[in-house]
C-alpha cells in the first residue's frame, strides 16, 4: 500500500498582512508625507537677484578691486614665482586689495610646515583680513557664502570645483593662473552695459 499524501488544508493556514501593505494606516501616512515632499521639491525656488546687477554688468565691482584669495591660489602663485599684489594689478590695470578670510588662514595652518611660506604671504599686512563667524574651517564654502552675500569681490582660485560653483553665481568674476600669469574671467568692460 502506498503512502498517503499529506497536504495542508486551505483554511487552516492563518493569513497575515504584509508589514508593507498599503492598507495599513502607518504606510498611508508615510505615502502622503512622501508625496508632499516630492511636491515641495518640484516647486522651484529662485533666489532674488542682487540689486547691483544690471543685465550682466555688476555695478558693485569698481576699482580698487577687492580680491578674495583661496589657499591654492597663494600656493600656486608661489610655485610659479608670481608676486600676488603686483600680478593682480598687472592683470586688472587697477589697484587691488587682496582679502584673506580666517578660514583660508586656518586651512593654511592645518597644512603644516610645507605651506609655511604661503601662510607668511597670507599674513602680509597689505592683505585685508576678513573675520568669519560661521562654524568649521572649510574655505570653499566660506568663499561661496561670502560672494553670494556681497557681490563686490573677485574670487582668486585655481580649484576647478570652486570655480564651477562660483560660475553659477551671476556677476562674480574669477581670477586664476594661466601660463605663469594671472588671468581674469567674466569681468565686464567698465563702459556702458550691453
Joined together, the cell numbers standing for residue 166 give 562660483
- Residue 143 CA to residue 126 CA, distance in Å, equals 20
- Residue 175, pLDDT > 90, answer yes
Q: How would residue 19 be classed by pLDDT, with cut points 50, 70 and 90?
A: confident
- Residue 191, pLDDT > 70, answer no
- Residue 6, pLDDT > 80, answer no
- Residue 71 CA to residue 56 CA, distance in Å, equals 28
Q: How would residue 2 be classed by pLDDT, with cut points 50, 70 and 90?
A: low
> 51-65, 108-122, 179-193: which range is least confident on average?
179-193
- Residue 63, pLDDT > 60, answer yes
**Which residue in this structure is represented by grid cell 605663469?**
180
**Which residue in this structure is represented by grid cell 583661496?**
70
- Residue 172, pLDDT > 70, answer yes
- The predicted structure's pLDDT at residue 193: 43
CA 138 to chain centroid, in Å, comes to: 10
Residue 99's beta-bridge partner residues? 68, 128
Provide φ and ψ at 173, rounded to 5°: -75, 155
Q: Which residue has the higher pLDDT, 128 or 17?
A: 128
Across the range 66-89, mean pLDDT stands at 95
- The predicted structure's pLDDT at residue 7: 67
Q: Domains (ranges, CATH) in the chain? A: 62-185 (3.40.50.1010)
Joined together, the cell numbers standing for residue 109 give 595652518
> 23-37, 76-90, 95-109: which range is least confident on average?
23-37
- Quote the pTM value: 0.71
The mean of the pLDDT values for the chain is 85
Amino acid at each position: 500500500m502506498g503512502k498517503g499524501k499529506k497536504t495542508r488544508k486551505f483554511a487552516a493556514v492563518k493569513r497575515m498582512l504584509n508589514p508593507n501593505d498599503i492598507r495599513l494606516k502607518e504606510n498611508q501616512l508615510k505615502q502622503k508625507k512622501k508625496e508632499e515632499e516630492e511636491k515641495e521639491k518640484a516647486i522651484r525656488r529662485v533666489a532674488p537677484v542682487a540689486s547691483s546687477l544690471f543685465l550682466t554688468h555688476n555695478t558693485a565691482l569698481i576699482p580698487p578691486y577687492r580680491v578674495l584669495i583661496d589657499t591654492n591660489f597663494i600656493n600656486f602663485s608661489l610655485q610659479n614665482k608670481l608676486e600676488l599684489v603686483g600680478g593682480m594689478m598687472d592683470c586688472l590695470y587697477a589697484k587691488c586689495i587682496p582679502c584673506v578670510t580666517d578660514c583660508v588662514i586656518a586651512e593654511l595652518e592645518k597644512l603644516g610646515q610645507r605651506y609655511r611660506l604661503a601662510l607668511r604671504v597670507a599674513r602680509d599686512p597689505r592683505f585685508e583680513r576678513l573675520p568669519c563667524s560661521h562654524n568649521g574651517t572649510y574655505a570653499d564654502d566660506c568663499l561661496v557664502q561670502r560672494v553670494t552675500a556681497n557681490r563686490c569681490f573677485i574670487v582668486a582660485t585655481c580649484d576647478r570645483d570652486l570655480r564651477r560653483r562660483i560660475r553659477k553665481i551671476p556677476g562674480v568674476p574669477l581670477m586664476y593662473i594661466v601660463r605663469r600669469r594671472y588671468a581674469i574671467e567674466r569681468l565686464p568692460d567698465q563702459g556702458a552695459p550691453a
